[in-house]
Amino acid sequence: MAQNQKLNYSDKNILLHACCGICSGYPISLLQDMGYSVTVYFYNPNIFPQEEYQKRLEAEKTLCSHLGCELLIGDYEPDVYYEFVKGLENEPEKGARCDKCFELRLDRSAMKAKELGIEEFTTSIVISPHKNYEKLSKIGEQVASRYDLKYLPFNFRKNDGFSKTNQISKELNLYRQNYCGCKFAMQK
């Protein structure tokens, strides 16, 4: 599924994997300021329950409409996520289960970028102070090499990025979640 409009055009295209509207506001605006035409890809099969997924998706739609960028919505496939992290259910937060989750979402983002002929991609997940930027960048670069793409390891936290993304979400009154997304994170 795709939103109907692509409002910004540029010779520099990038696909931004968006984990949620809160985290992707500043990354989208920064990339646009850098001259990129941003295509946002919302692929998050880890989010539980489905009602939570819908709330986060609606926030992303609001944000992308406001910032004038294309939003592509991946399938909601929780069974794919559970199969991908099978055996890691009892891992602590920030452990091997999370790494596999990041790998799955970045892999599907790379597949989408390749399908669209976009040679560069990145993710908004790295803006969170709760996530390991270096680890995510390494996973992104490994995934990119599988598809002959370039993962851009933007550290969106720099220059007060986390505060800026929170300001954008506050101005738009976006839904704010209180856990990362999966049912395992809810139980902690």
| Residue 122, domain CATH | 3.40.50.620
Nearest to 99 by CA among 45, 140, 50: 140
Rounded to the nearest angstrom, the gap between the alpha carbon of residue 108 and the centroid of all alpha carbons in its chain is 11
Residue that is written with structure tokens 């794919």 in the block: 80
CA 54 – CA 172 distance, rounded (Å) = 17
> Has residue 161 been placed in a domain?
yes
What percentage of the chain carries pLDDT values higher than 70?
A: 94
Q: Is the distance from CB of 185 to CB of 74 less than 8 angstroms? A: no
Residue closest to 110 by CA, chosen among 151, 157, 69: 151
Handedness of CA 110, 9, 123, 121 (dihedral sign): positive
Looking at the domain assignment, is residue 1 inside a domain?
Answer: no
Q: Please state, in angstroms and rounded to a whole number, the distance separating the CA atoms of residues 136 and 99.
A: 8
- The model's pLDDT over 109-148, given as tens digits with 9 standing for 90+, comes to 999 999 999 999 999 999 999 999 999 999 999 999 999 9
The whole domain housing 32 covers: 12-186
User: Confidence class of residue 37 from pLDDT cuts 50, 70 and 90?
Assistant: very high
pLDDT (0 to 100) of residue 100? 98
Kindly tell me if the per-residue pLDDT of 174 is higher than 70.
yes
Note whether residue 2 is domain-resident: no
pLDDT at 186: 81
95 part of a folded domain:
yes
Spell 140-157 as b/e; 16+ CB within 10 A means b: beebbeebebbbbbbebb
Total structural domains in the chain? 1
